[in-house]
Amino acid sequence: MDVVTNVLFLLSHGIPGLVVAGVTMILILLGLIRKEDGLVIFAAFLFIPFAYTMGSWEGLRLFVRLMPLFLLASAFAISRNEPLLAWVLPIPPAAYLIYILFNIIASDL
């Protein structure tokens, strides 16, 4: 279990975190624009390192742990042809990814 925790931590900080967050943002946007639920599902799996390392099971950070579910719900809305839900649900994860990108860049990598 320590190996999994270390990999998740490494994928969410520094240059790998910058790359993973950027790819996740691109996949979210491409999945929404092209209406492909597979891209959004893959983005949800790439969001897991950030949700695990920066979230908690109590308090306000519980919301961070549940953000991959927003992306999965958006993929479900894409598959059911509900464009409003498909575009509204990924707003909190996308905003959090932008926050993470700014934090990583501001910390001088």
List pLDDT tens digits, range 76-97.
999 999 999 999 999 999 999 9
pLDDT in tens, 41-55: 999 999 999 898 887
Tell me the chain's radius of gyration from C-alpha atoms. Answer: 14
Range of the domain at 8: 2-106
CB atoms within 10 A of CB 74: 27
pLDDT band of residue 109 (cuts 50, 70, 90) is: low
pTM here is 0.87
CA angle 51, 95, 44 (to 5 degrees): 40
Domains in the chain, number? 1
